[in-house]
């Protein structure tokens, strides 16, 4: 690959994204002695920071607030010398130098790096109905794996009819007394085996041709208002939890044309977090994968940093 001179670049690694994947990558990269910059978005926040409590992160059995856990990630990475800035990335281009560097523009500055780790995350698609935002974390959830255990022996509703919605509805039956699936059509979009399991589950009921019109409640959710798409009739359903699964939106627009994304906009990588662009790795919820949790994002971040370290070693002629 050739050897890049120190004066030709600013950082060994630039990490884009300040969630669990980004800060874990920063921790591993900085601890390995690599000059590393993490660019935390100014206009976006990690989904973990708006999560009320996380009970399934290993080593913290009593649970912890999402913002608090993120601060632990951040402080530990900073301890090892990670540099951070809070700016939105506007462009990523490959230089014409030999060897090629990646140039990241953020704010009014550009930074040159040997490698990039994309860790920009994703967000749940919102319905935008009254009460959805007001009761987020107080009965409205977008993750049954995260919040299902809080609804033991309670009635909940699930909005959606795809694979994710039905998988999460089935998961919720381990805790909830009743799960009502609300779907805008008269049949599910989920795969056949999931449909078969859902229809056989006694705890699951279905409301067909219905859309969520409003989330009802006082301090916490007490129910939902459903609108029939054919008759437009409104019906109230009592429930203490509302789980919305109508898709995710990955924060990957900045990477279009830089490396390959799948049809949903997620970053395609191999098992070593490598993208289709040499020297760029991806980690966390922005990556194409099935399971998105804090612990899997952290694992991705460590894996990406390690493989970026190997890549940089080759560039510098320091490979083992």
Active-site residue, selected from the candidate residues 147, 155, 285, 300: 147
Q: What pairs with residue 203 in β-bridges? A: none
Which residue is catalytic, options 10, 52, 88, 143? 143
pLDDT tier for residue 180 given thresholds of 50, 70 and 90: very high
Q: Give the closest residue to 220 by CA, choosing from 127, 292, 147.
A: 147
Q: Could you give the CA distance from residue 14 to residue 37 in angstroms, rounded to a whole number? A: 5
Q: How far apart are CA 210 and CA 181, in angstroms?
A: 10
pLDDT at 21 over 90: yes
**Cα(200)–Cα(188) distance, integer angstroms:** 14
Compute the average pLDDT of residues 24-38. 98
CB burial string 237-271: b at 16+ within 10 A, e below: bebbbbbbbbebebbbebbeebbebeeebbbebee
Q: Is 143 a catalytic residue?
A: yes
- Catalytic residue list contains 146: yes
Q: Can you tell me the mean pLDDT for 5-29?
A: 90
Give the pLDDT confidence of 281-316 residue by residue, as tens digits.
999 999 999 888 899 999 999 999 999 999 999 988
Does 98 score more than 80 pLDDT?
no
Q: Mean pLDDT across the stretch 57-77?
A: 90
| Average confidence (pLDDT) over 142-165 | 91
In this model, does residue 50 exceed pLDDT 80? Answer: no
Selected residue with higher pLDDT from 43 and 64: 64
Stretch among 52-61, 171-180, 216-225 having the lowest mean pLDDT: 52-61
The residue annotated as part of the active site, out of 10, 146, 155, 286, is 146
- Of 140-144, 183-187, 205-209, 268-272, which range is least confident? 140-144
**Cβ pair 173, 196 in contact under 8 A:** no
What is the reported pLDDT for 297?
A: 95
Mean pLDDT within 245-266: 93
Structure tokens at 201: 């589950």
The average confidence (pLDDT) of the chain is: 91
The answer to whether residue 138 scores a pLDDT higher than 60 is: yes
0.85 surpassed by pTM: no
């Amino acid at each position: 690959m050739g050897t890049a001179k120190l004066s030709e670049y600013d950082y060994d690694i630039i990490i884009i994204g300040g969630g669990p994947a980004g800060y874990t990558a920063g921790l591993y990269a900085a601890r390995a002695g690599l000059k590393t910059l993490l660019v935390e978005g100014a206009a976006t926040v990690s989904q973990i920071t708006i999560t009320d409590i996380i009970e399934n992160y290993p080593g913290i059995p009593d649970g912890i607030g999402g913002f608090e856990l993120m601060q632990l990630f951040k402080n530990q990475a900073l301890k090892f010398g990670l540099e951070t800035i809070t700016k939105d990335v506007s462009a990523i281009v490959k230089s014409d130098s030999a060897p090629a560097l990646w140039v990241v523009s953020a704010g009014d500055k550009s930074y040159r790096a040997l490698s990039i780790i994309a860790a920009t995350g994703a967000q749940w698609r919102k319905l935008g109905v009254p009460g959805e935002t007001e009761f987020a974390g107080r009965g409205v959830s977008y993750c049954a794996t995260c919040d299902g255990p809080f609804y033991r022996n309670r009635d909940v509703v699930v909005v959606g009819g795809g694979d994710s919605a039905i998988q999460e509805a089935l998961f919720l039956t381990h805790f909830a007394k009743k799960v009502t699936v609300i779907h805008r059509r008269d049949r599910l979009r989920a795969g056949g085996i999931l449909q078969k399991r859902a229809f056989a589950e006694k705890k699951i009921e279905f409301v067909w041709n219905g859309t969520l019109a409003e989330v009802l409640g006082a301090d916490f959710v007490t129910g939902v208002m459903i609108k029939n798409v054919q008759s437009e009739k409104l019906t109230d359903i009592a429930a203490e939890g509302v789980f919305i699964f109508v898709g995710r939106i990955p924060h990957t627009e900045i990477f279009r044309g830089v490396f390959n994304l799948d049809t949903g906009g997620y970053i395609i990588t191999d098992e070593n977090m490598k993208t289709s662009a040499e020297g760029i790795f991806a980690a966390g919820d922005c990556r194409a994968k099935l399971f998105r949790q804090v612990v899997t994002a952290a694992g991705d971040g460590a894996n990406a940093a390690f493989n970026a370290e190997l890549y940089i070693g080759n560039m510098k002629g320091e490979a083992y």
